[in-house]
Amino acid sequence: MKLPEEEQVKYRKPLQKSMELRRKARRLPKGSKVDKLQDGKLDLNVASSSACKSLMFHHRPGYGQLGTKCLVKANHFLAEISGSDLSHYNVEITPEFTSRKLNKAIIAQLVRLHKNTDLGMRLPVYDGGRNIYTAGLLPFTLKEFTIILSQENEGAGVTREQKFRVRIKFASRVSMHQLRDLLGGKQVDTPQEALTIIDIVLRELAAQSNVSIGRFLYSPDIKKPQQLGGGLESWRGFYQSIRPTQMGLSLNIDMSSMAFIEPLPVIDFVAQILGKDVLSKPLSDADCVKVKKSLRGVKVEVTHRGNVRRKYRISGLTSQPTRELIFPLDEQMNMKSVVDYFLEMYGYTIQYSHLPCLQVGNQKKVNYLPMEACKIVGGQRYTKGLSEKQITSLLKVSCQRPREQELDILKTVHQNDYANNPYSKEFGITIENKLAAVEARVLPAPWLKYHDTGREKSSCRKLKVINGSSVRYWACINFSRSIQETTAHGFCQQLIQMCQISGMEFNENPAIPIYSARPDQVKKALKYLYCAALKKLEGKELELLIAILPDNNGSLYGDLKRICETDLGLISQCCLTKHVFKIGRQYLANVALKINVKMGGRNTVLLDALSWRIPLVSDIPTIIFGADVTHPESADDSCPSIAAVVASQDWPEVTKYAGLVCSQPHREELIQDLFTSWRDPQRGTVSGGMIRELLLSFKKATGQKPSRIIFYRDGVSEGQFYQVLLYELDAIRKACSSLEPSYQPPVTFVVVQKRHHTKLFASNHDDKNSTDKSGNILPGTVVDSKICHPTEFDFYLCSHAGIQGTSRPAHYHVLWDENNFTADEIQSLTNNLCYTYARCTRSVSVVPPAYYAHLAAYRARFYVEPDAPENAKPRGARSTDRSGVRPLPALKEKVKSVMFYC
């Protein structure tokens, strides 16, 4: 029931006064509601227990017109669907299993037995969990089936004949009406259930013959597997997803490569892991540790029993060689050796008894299997970390030129043969077999201002930076044993010369002589050098540290950055040994660019910024934020996630970005520390957080509060748009009002996505005028029609020139816009900013504020202190925060005011 108009909480500046919105947005209750009114206000129905359901994102204001028009192709294929409603049934399988593979085998058997009778000729699709969907109603609303799976289904996890009870019950009709409205251009909520069903239908047949990993499907038949070394091989696969677009429903197909374990005899796999012959000598303790780590969790099948190929999962490795292993044969504890058992039971003579046995089964009942009697089961994804050599090999396999990539995509669509797919036919879905032709525009590259010229980007070796920084006091520390002091000195002098050529003032003499140290003494060495310089300079602090590191430096780089930036307050520039030996001018020029911005300088600015001609940036003080969250690796279940926010500190140039970082709960995507407030016994309510601090630093640097906010948010998936917008926009509002109650500058909130699967290809690969040197589309190519959202404000922008492989455009989604950007304005601003990236003289693929936030978050991973459990209180007693996550050590003031993360 809705409250009277005067009782409702209204938002002229959306989310401005909400006290509960962040809590609600963090875990939105199912069925909660927030409605967007026609005049742009948000109306929160506080009477409902579900207060935040559907927030309408910013509507597309029109289409861009700037740039040279051209035609491109996209890896989207038009899908036509039947207008009929679908049926949803709940399914319960008893006994209950968590294996989706087993569940699917049970339902597949049910369909085989009962399709023509009890299922009324319907061919259902099943999601592997609790849902079955059909193209029409089944002859019943509730029915139970008894299904028996025999040993033939062992691959699905059943090891004997087993009986299952399957209960199918009608749940609901799934209407296609809302999907038709969305595709027709009406601003409605995305009908996620309908799209999910179509996705399941289109992948059902392919999933039966391919290895399914998320939305990807892999097979050795798509392309011949390539060896990666170490017992691994790459499999080719494809991604497919149905998407609502302006041209209608679109099937997005993209190619992928992934590392799989080669289906080798286990002994051959072990030999590849260790890189040596294992048949003649026993394994060392170190070898056993390496083998155990690589094999744990891997599925193998036995080869010593003829046609009986039972499968087991490896749980460990015996500490003793096979010849020494004995086990209790019965409850009377009669012991028998493994060698004798295999000879008597199977007539199998173990040849390599000096090798340990594989342990399979659980801890209560451990089984021993000789390595030589086992082979790795095919189709197992490798989930552990790859070596540098394996990564290089995998990238080489997956890196394809645009023409090859397009042909592979078309070949995949042809192989999938959607026209003859029985599931597609059942649900009335047809897929076109040609890539979508899309109108695009190539935006002009901006003019840039360097030291004494205004020009487009060119080689940094010929250009001076616009604002060169000054380095008076510097030192060099050498952690590389292969670098002599004279070599290090010569390298430093060439680097200094390049910095001077680039426009910096750089003292040629170090504050103290070059200091050599051992990598395992990094903390001690840095503190000694810092104190020695402090003493030599009579109290003046070092400004820059040049550090020479071994090429393979383990944790040295991270330790050095953590100590310098959170302990000593020292800016550092690391250089690898290989670059010191082989000094390249381009390398020196790039390092000079990094040093300049780290020391507070600026490399280049947009000419339009200096002439006050950037729409919705130049007219009033504008701050541009970038934000990102990095999460630990998938195998890590405890490390905190790291959030970073950067913000421009110069206006109207918007090229210098200060950055802040914080830790937050494991895999939490919402940035927790954007705004915080707490009660202090003496001071009352105290406000803080990264947004507030960066707003204050902007005011200190420019003398003005920002009158406009542009917020680029990286790393958010479509399923998280609502949560992130509600929570983080509210935090921005609160941070502003904490500075002054009436201070509420208009906000534009843009999500930046790089991990999507849309690729753009030249319409004619042979036309040199429409491609760059790598065969990719031209930098500045923007698309905002046909393959974009039917109603929301999004666009694809390929802002960079391809180097190798196929370029991937960035996808920008304007979720909220109180500044009323036109399509041309936001697209041009985003494209132009991509030319101001500080670390190189090329345009980059993602808008720099988002790029910088990513770099800062990645850097802060090194600040998570080692040598202590995640939740332990370290010496000196810095406790955990309210979320139970240990806060990161604070950046020193001198560090966080400059672009230390570059």
pLDDT in tens, 303-318: 998 888 889 999 999 9
Q: By mean pLDDT, which of 22-26, 288-292, 623-627, 844-848 is the weakest? A: 22-26
**Dist. CA 555–CA 572, nearest whole Å:** 16
Percent of the chain with pLDDT over 70: 89
Contact 776, 807 (CB under 8 A): yes
Comparing 451 with 215, which gets the higher pLDDT? 215
Contact 795, 827 (CB under 8 A): yes
Predicted local confidence at residue 462, as pLDDT: 59
Q: Does residue 880 have a pLDDT over 60?
A: no
Q: Give 832-866 pLDDT, tens digit per residue.
A: 999 999 999 889 999 999 999 999 999 999 998 75
Closest CA to 189 of 789, 651, 674: 789
Comparing 883 with 130, which gets the higher pLDDT? 130
Predicted local confidence at residue 97, as pLDDT: 80
Predicted local confidence at residue 634, as pLDDT: 76
With a CB cutoff of 8 Å and minimum separation 6, the contacts of 166 are 91, 92, 93, 94, 106, 107, 110, 144, 145, 146, 147
Q: By mean pLDDT, which of 25-34, 439-448, 490-499, 576-585 is the weakest? A: 25-34
**Dist. CA 2–CA 81, nearest whole Å:** 37
**Sequence-ordered strand ranges (E) for 603-721:** 605-606, 622-630, 641-648, 657-664, 676-680, 684-688, 708-714
The average confidence (pLDDT) of the chain is 89
* HEC secondary structure over 508-521: CCCCCCCEECCHHH
Query: pLDDT band at residue 867, thresholds of 50, 70 and 90?
Result: very low
Q: Give 166-179 pLDDT, tens digit per residue.
A: 999 999 999 999 99
Average pLDDT over residues 41-57: 44
Predicted local confidence at residue 866, as pLDDT: 56
Average pLDDT over residues 394-417: 95
Q: Give 589-601 pLDDT, tens digit per residue.
A: 999 999 999 999 9
Contact 163, 151 (CB under 8 A): no
Q: Give 601-650 pLDDT, tens digit per residue.
A: 999 999 999 999 999 999 999 999 999 999 998 777 789 999 999 999 99
Average pLDDT over residues 523-530: 96
Average pLDDT over residues 116-135: 96
Contact 862, 559 (CB under 8 A): yes
Q: Is 293 helix (H, G, I), strand (E, B) or coil?
A: helix
Closest CA to 860 of 632, 569, 662, 575: 662
Predicted local confidence at residue 191, as pLDDT: 94
Q: Give 625-637 pLDDT, tens digit per residue.
A: 999 999 998 777 7
Copy the structure tokens of residue 475: 């030192």
**Cα→Cα distances 527→522, 531, 878, Å:** 9, 6, 22
Please provide the DSSP assignment of 56-90 as one string.
PPPBP------SEEEEEEESEEEEEE--S-EEEEE
Does an H or E element contain 396, and which? helix 388-398
Q: Does residue 869 have a pLDDT over 80?
A: no
C-alpha 371, offset from chain centre: 38
Average pLDDT over residues 532-551: 95
Question: With DSSP H G I counted as helix, E B as strand and the rest as coil, what are the percentages for the chain, rounded to 5?
Answer: 30, 25, 45
Percent of the chain with pLDDT over 90: 80
Predicted local confidence at residue 307, as pLDDT: 83
Comparing 638 with 25, which gets the higher pLDDT? 638
DSSP H helices, 815-896, are 823-833, 848-860, 893-896
Peptide bond before residue 652 is cis, with ω within 30 degrees of 0: yes
Prediction pTM value: 0.89
Average pLDDT over residues 805-816: 96
Q: Give 754-769 pLDDT, tens digit per residue.
A: 999 999 999 999 998 9
Copy the structure tokens of residue 486: 């004279």
**Dist. CA 182–CA 162, nearest whole Å:** 46
Q: Which DSSP state fits 890?
A: P
Beta bridge partners of 10: 43
Q: What is the dihedral sign for C-alpha 12, 795, 723, 641? A: negative
**Dist. CA 61–CA 398, nearest whole Å:** 38
Contact 377, 101 (CB under 8 A): no
Comparing 14 with 150, which gets the higher pLDDT? 150
Start-to-end CA span in the chain (Å)? 54
Q: By mean pLDDT, which of 138-147, 151-160, 508-517, 750-759 is the weakest? A: 151-160
Contact 476, 514 (CB under 8 A): yes
Q: Give 357-376 pLDDT, tens digit per residue.
A: 999 977 677 789 999 999 99
Alpha-carbon radius of gyration of the chain: 31
Q: Is 536 helix (H, G, I), strand (E, B) or coil?
A: helix
Closest CA to 411 of 445, 435, 386: 435
Average pLDDT over residues 180-189: 92
Contact 631, 641 (CB under 8 A): yes
Q: What is the dihedral of CA 697, 703, 705, 708, to 10 degrees?
A: -100
Closest CA to 204 of 96, 299, 116, 131: 131
Predicted local confidence at residue 159, as pLDDT: 53
Contact 545, 557 (CB under 8 A): no
Closest CA to 130 of 160, 169, 158, 86: 169
Query: pLDDT band at residue 463, thresholds of 50, 70 and 90?
Result: confident
Copy the structure tokens of residue 786: 């046909």
Copy the structure tokens of residue 405: 């990539």
Predicted local confidence at residue 452, as pLDDT: 63
Predicted local confidence at residue 872, as pLDDT: 40
Predicted local confidence at residue 379, as pLDDT: 94
Predicted local confidence at residue 666, as pLDDT: 92
